[in-house]
Amino acid sequence: MEVVHTIPELRAAVARARQAGKAIGFVPTMGCLHEGHLSLIRRAREEAAFVVVSIFVNPTQFGPNEDFAKYPRTFAEDRAGCEAAGADLIFAPTAADFYPTGASTWVDVEGISAKLCGEFRPGHFRGVATVVAMLFNAAQADVAVFGRKDLQQLAVIRRMVRDLHMPVRIIAHETVREPNGVAMSSRNRYLSTEELSQATAIPAALTAAQALARSGVTDAARLQATAQAVLAAQPALKPQYCAIVDLETMAPVTSTAGRPCAIAIACHLGATRLIDNADL
Catalytic residues: 37
Number of residues that bind ligand PAF (CB under 6 A): 10
Query: Which CB, 88 or 150, lies closer to ligand PAF?
Result: 150
- Residue 171, H or E segment: strand 169-173
Q: Are 265 and 276 in contact (CB under 8 A)?
A: yes
Stretch that binds ligand PAF, among 14-22, 125-133, 191-199, 237-245 (CB under 6 A): 125-133
Stretch that binds ligand PAF, among 77-85, 103-111, 128-136, 192-200 (CB under 6 A): 128-136
Q: In what order do the strands lie in the sheet with 261-269?
A: 237-246, 261-269, 272-279
DSSP reduced 3-state for 47: helix
Q: How far apart are CA 97 and CA 260, in angstroms?
A: 41
Query: Which CB, 150 or 276, lies closer to ligand PAF?
Result: 150
Between CA 155 and CA 48, with CA 4 as vertex, the angle to 5 degrees is: 50
Q: Report the interhelical angle of 124-139 vs 151-163 (nearest 10°).
A: 60
| Residue in 28, 36, 81, 203 binding ligand PAF, rule: CB under 6 A | 28
Binding mask 61-80 for ligand PAF (x = CB under 6 A): x-------------------
Does 27 contact ligand PAF by CB under 6 A? Answer: no
Backbone phi and psi for residue 272, each to the nearest 5 degrees, phi listed first: -105, 140
- Min CB(91)–ligand PAF separation in Å: 11
Stretch that binds ligand PAF, among 22-30, 110-118, 240-248, 265-273 (CB under 6 A): 22-30
Query: Which CB, 153 or 272, lies closer to ligand PAF?
Result: 153
Does 30 contact ligand PAF by CB under 6 A? Answer: yes
Q: Return the DSSP state at 36.
A: H
| Amino acid occupying residue 58 | N
Query: Which CB, 79 or 230, lies closer to ligand PAF?
Result: 79
Residues facing residue 45 across a β-bridge: none
Q: How far apart are CA 182 and CA 197, in angstroms?
A: 9
Does 58 contact ligand PAF by CB under 6 A? Answer: yes
Stretch that binds ligand PAF, among 3-11, 28-36, 75-83, 195-203 (CB under 6 A): 28-36
- Min CB(8)–ligand PAF separation in Å: 21
Q: Are 168 and 197 in contact (CB under 8 A)?
A: no
Q: Which residues bind ligand PAF (CB under 6 A)?
A: 28-30, 58, 61, 128, 131-132, 150, 153
